[in-house]
Structure 1
Amino acid sequence: MRISRRAVAAAAVLATVLPLSACGGGSGDSSSDASGKVEGKITFQTWNLQANFKDYFNGVIADFEKKYPGTDVKWVDRPAEGYADKISADAAGGTLPDVVNVSPDLVAPLAKAGLALDLDKAAAKYRKEYLPGAWQSHQIPGMEGTYAFPWYLNTGPLFYNKSLFKDAGLDPEKPPTTYDELFDEGLSLATKSKGKVATLANVPTIEDFGRYGGQLMNKEGTGFAFNDAKGVELLTRYKELYDAKALDPQALTATPESSGHKFLTGSVAMNPGSALDLENFKKQAPSLYKNIGITDQISSTGKANMYVMGVMVNAQTKQKPAAVAFAHYVTDATRQMDFAKQVAIFPSTAGSLDDPYFTEEDGTDVTRVRIAAAKSLKTAVNYTPVLFSDQMKTELRNQVAKALQGKQSPKEALDNAVKACDRLLQQS
């Protein structure tokens, strides 16, 4: 299983393929009443998990069926490639499984189509078991309700090069934590190195606008709003970094791999990453590894960004009590903790991140990163709007590039980006 920051960006596919009139589950009950005896046969669909976690899920299913005699859970697993298309086809054809592994961008069009069960009505008693930010991640702008149980979370710390900070006269033990600190220290780094060392290697994304404290969408969920005063301010400061070479000149076309290489070679002072990167530094750049600092993501809101997977219940299922019970069971604290110890993910259940597994150092690199990430997840939120598609990301990136290059003002760039994204939103 490859768990990435956004495992598959598929909202655009679903939005264009899935008609809002689609229905699933045949003659199932679309009400939110999940009371009644937990019994019957249900189908549980996951997303590229069977190859590595067959024993784990078979064990979860066996334990559930033992707890609820009379239930029968059929597990199906779909490959990552084409997952959104498969869900779209099932939704349109009335064959959507009873319980489905989704990400927020996948659940949005299903909720709009009336195919995702509103858990605020059907399973409100379970809400307190999950981190508030995780529960809210499957809420859809402009709609009331929550449309999937939060499942596993992911995030990443920010690595920084202590040696470069020290050379610039900055405190290597006190890295920037807010964007204002980042911009000020970034300019200092560029000035001290005469433009040879950049602080960052990436242009701002929608997550940055969220972490900066700007408004991303209007309250109705009908349009984007990242061209507000905070958004313009953020892009203006990035333009200052770019002009001073505190933002790497190649940031406009950077990839995660190229940014990582810049950090590895000491031409960039800060870069997001994971435990795998830390092991890579140890092997390929021992001098960098000795000077690695680990800190939280930059945020002016005090909250990091999280990436979240969820488990949705088909609103048309014929076995609603069993489907809700199983979706909760596979995402409860016990099951999530067991899963987190098998793969580098984090539970979304309240209190789980206080487990010694996420708090106690053992001297290994993997644990260092796990503890740093777990700490930030307690209050993290999913800043990327569930309606923000890959096409919209491209529009924002293109307009940001024009602003950084001086081809238009930050205000003009964001106004144009919002117009383009709103147009795409209306087409979906």
Structure 2
Amino acid sequence: MPTPRRTLTTVAVAALLLPLSACGSGSDGGGSTDASGKVQGDITFQTWNLRANFKDYFEDLIAEFEKKYPGTDVKWVDQPAEGYADKISADAAGGTLPDVVNVSPDLVAPLARAGLALDLDRAAPQYAKEYLEGAWASHRIPGTDGTYAFPWYLNTGPLFYNKSLFEKAGLDPEKPPTTYDELFTQARRMAERTDGEVATLANVPTIEDFGRYGVPLMNDEGTAFAFDDAKGVQLLTEYKELYDAGALDAQALTATPESSGKKFLTGAVAMNPGSALDLANFRKQAPNLYENIGITDQITSTGHANMYVMGVMVNARSERKPAAVAFAHFVTDAAHQMSFARQVAVFPSTAGSLDDPYFTKEDGTDETRVRVAAARSLKTAVNYTPVLFSEQMKTALRNEVARALQGKESPEEALDNAVRACDRLLRQQG
């Protein structure tokens, strides 16, 4: 299941370099948006690395749908995590895209622009009110009108911290940082008092970190990036100071979520983002860490946590649009999202679902504490990563951040270069 931050499995989503601009404008889905009519016929449903762990769930769900709509037949195909974006790209270019496709917002963006993603605001507007506003908006594409996928499961997570490391550095283990100023101050103190042996953070700032810091990421039209403003430069300058002080791990420039997680497990870093799933891993692999684990909210200057969202897209050229829309909605309706969320540590995107006692009542366990806190934050969370921010753009930003941290460029020069590179890639997408 492709949720970020090691929640279930980690995947690097390749850029969708689709030469599909001639296929459609994205405004009419490359065909009729009429999804009315009888729900019948054969459709294909594609998921993203879910069969191994959830085979029974999806087989039961499909059987339930086919019983509800006699005359339908859903063929389920599951693709591996590796190469998923390339598979979608090839199917889109070859005209073999399935009727219903599991996507993330960055994957749906080029498909929408190519006219291959059905605009649900035109084809099925009656369903919008069933979902959290922020979740429904997550599959909108700047520069186009419409919503191009049903929101499915959401995820977010807290910051974990090692109380024993805080205590050894003379920091109050019951008062972790709650603002960026506190984070930067405590991180420098951690490095100073451990003679540089313990860093507080293990990752360089990503586009979502700039968003959480309150940096404007794009202009309102979605035609240019804007994260090189004064606030963006301020954040990168702070990270440069942390890096020089040993408060940002020395290997952060090449870190992956897995390597950062291992650093946290071994006590080399004091804080790391994660999810409720990590607690079981801590208990099994690092019992000493588990006994000293601290849990705190994401740090943000905006008051809104970051939301990771997965979606279910309908192929705009499906010959069975009524059945495809009906099934995509069936997969993502409140009842089925709640059922899925009870099997794995994800959260439903449907309105009102997060008020269920499962997400509001604590039972004294850390797992429940994380779940309740995450559910509360998701009600107002946003997906900071722009849907047009491709993997190539992420690489461009990361490379420039690395140059700034190494002192090869000033933070201002690095971000100006990153914005120019991302704007160039954005024009190529169009």
Q: Is the shorter-chain TM-score for this pair beyond 0.5, marking a shared fold?
A: yes
Partner of residue 50, structure 1: 51
Partner of residue 325, structure 2: 324
Partner of residue 63, structure 1: 64
The secondary structure found in structure 1 opposite 2:23 is coil
- Aligned equivalents of 2:298, 2:90: Cα separation in 1: 38
CA contact (8 A) 1:46 1:78 kept: yes
Partner of residue 378, structure 1: 379
CA contact (8 A) 1:134 1:308 kept: yes
The gaps in structure 1 that reach 5 residues or longer are none
The secondary structure found in structure 2 opposite 1:299 is coil
CA contact (8 A) 2:118 2:315 kept: yes
Q: 1:205 to 1:3 in 2, by over 3 A?
A: closer
Describe the superposition over 1:359-400 as per-residue Cα deviations: whole angstroms up to 9, x where unpaired.
Answer: 333444443433333232222221112222222222211211
The amino acid of 1:413's aligned partner reads: A
Q: 1:86 to 1:260 in 2, by over 3 A?
A: closer
The secondary structure found in structure 2 opposite 1:21 is helix
Partner of residue 140, structure 1: 141
Describe the superposition over 1:165-194 as per-residue Cα deviations: whole angstroms up to 9, x where unpaired.
Answer: 334444322322232221122233333434
- Is 1:128 matched up with 2:129? yes
CA contact (8 A) 1:29 1:317 kept: no
The secondary structure found in structure 2 opposite 1:17 is coil
Matches within 5 A, 1:277-426: 277-426=278-427
Describe the superposition over 1:191-240 as per-residue Cα deviations: whole angstroms up to 9, x where unpaired.
Answer: 34343332211111111001111111222222211101211111111122
- Is 1:238 matched up with 2:213? no
Q: CA deviation at 1:145?
A: 1.2
Q: 1:197 to 1:74 in 2, by over 3 A?
A: closer
- Aligned equivalents of 1:129, 1:180: Cα separation in 2: 38
CA contact (8 A) 1:190 1:198 kept: yes
Q: CA deviation at 1:276?
A: 4.3
- Is 1:197 matched up with 2:198? yes
Describe the superposition over 1:308-330 as per-residue Cα deviations: whole angstroms up to 9, x where unpaired.
Answer: 11111111222222221211111
Partner of residue 89, structure 2: 88
The amino acid of 1:350's aligned partner reads: A
Partner of residue 156, structure 2: 155
Q: CA deviation at 1:70?
A: 3.4
The amino acid of 1:325's aligned partner reads: A
The amino acid of 2:181's aligned partner reads: D
Q: 1:386 to 1:303 in 2, by over 3 A?
A: same
- Aligned equivalents of 2:306, 2:36: Cα separation in 1: 35
The amino acid of 2:198's aligned partner reads: V
Q: Which moved more, 1:166-175 or 1:203-212?
A: 166-175
CA contact (8 A) 1:279 1:365 kept: no
- Aligned equivalents of 1:29, 1:234: Cα separation in 2: 42
Q: Which moved more, 1:279-288 or 1:158-167?
A: 279-288
- Aligned equivalents of 2:426, 2:60: Cα separation in 1: 42
Q: Which moved more, 1:194-203 or 1:119-128?
A: 194-203
Q: 1:77 to 1:412 in 2, by over 3 A?
A: same
The amino acid of 2:208's aligned partner reads: E
The gaps in structure 2 that reach 5 residues or longer are none
Q: 1:398 to 1:346 in 2, by over 3 A?
A: same
- Aligned equivalents of 2:199, 2:375: Cα separation in 1: 28
- Is 1:206 matched up with 2:211? no
Describe the superposition over 1:66-119 as per-residue Cα deviations: whole angstroms up to 9, x where unpaired.
Answer: 323333333232333333233223322333222111111111111001111111
The secondary structure found in structure 2 opposite 1:263 is helix
The amino acid of 2:271's aligned partner reads: M
- Aligned equivalents of 1:285, 1:77: Cα separation in 2: 33
CA contact (8 A) 1:11 1:109 kept: no
Describe the superposition over 1:260-316 as per-residue Cα deviations: whole angstroms up to 9, x where unpaired.
Answer: 233233332211123443334334443332221111222111112122111111112
CA contact (8 A) 2:152 2:311 kept: yes
- Aligned equivalents of 1:208, 1:390: Cα separation in 2: 16
Q: Which moved more, 1:286-295 or 1:305-314?
A: 286-295
- Aligned equivalents of 1:230, 1:297: Cα separation in 2: 19
Q: 1:22 to 1:10 in 2, by over 3 A?
A: farther
Equivalent pairs counted in the alignment come to: 422
The secondary structure found in structure 2 opposite 1:62 is helix
Q: 1:39 to 1:269 in 2, by over 3 A?
A: same
Q: Which moved more, 1:230-239 or 1:167-176?
A: 167-176
Matches within 5 A, 1:81-120: 81-120=82-121
The secondary structure found in structure 2 opposite 1:226 is coil
Q: 1:84 to 1:325 in 2, by over 3 A?
A: same
The secondary structure found in structure 1 opposite 2:74 is strand
The secondary structure found in structure 1 opposite 2:21 is coil
Q: 1:208 to 1:4 in 2, by over 3 A?
A: closer
- Aligned equivalents of 2:219, 2:288: Cα separation in 1: 47
Q: 1:79 to 1:166 in 2, by over 3 A?
A: closer
TM-score (norm 2): 0.90
Partner of residue 257, structure 2: 256
Partner of residue 167, structure 2: 166
Q: 1:222 to 1:369 in 2, by over 3 A?
A: same
Q: CA deviation at 1:3?
A: 4.3
Describe the superposition over 1:6-33 as per-residue Cα deviations: whole angstroms up to 9, x where unpaired.
Answer: 8544452x2x23422237xxxx982323
Q: Which moved more, 1:412-421 or 1:220-229?
A: 220-229
- Aligned equivalents of 2:110, 2:307: Cα separation in 1: 21
- Aligned equivalents of 1:42, 1:355: Cα separation in 2: 33
CA contact (8 A) 2:160 2:272 kept: yes
Percent of aligned pairs with the same amino acid: 79
Q: 1:94 to 1:260 in 2, by over 3 A?
A: closer
Q: 1:269 to 1:85 in 2, by over 3 A?
A: closer
- Aligned equivalents of 1:280, 1:82: Cα separation in 2: 27
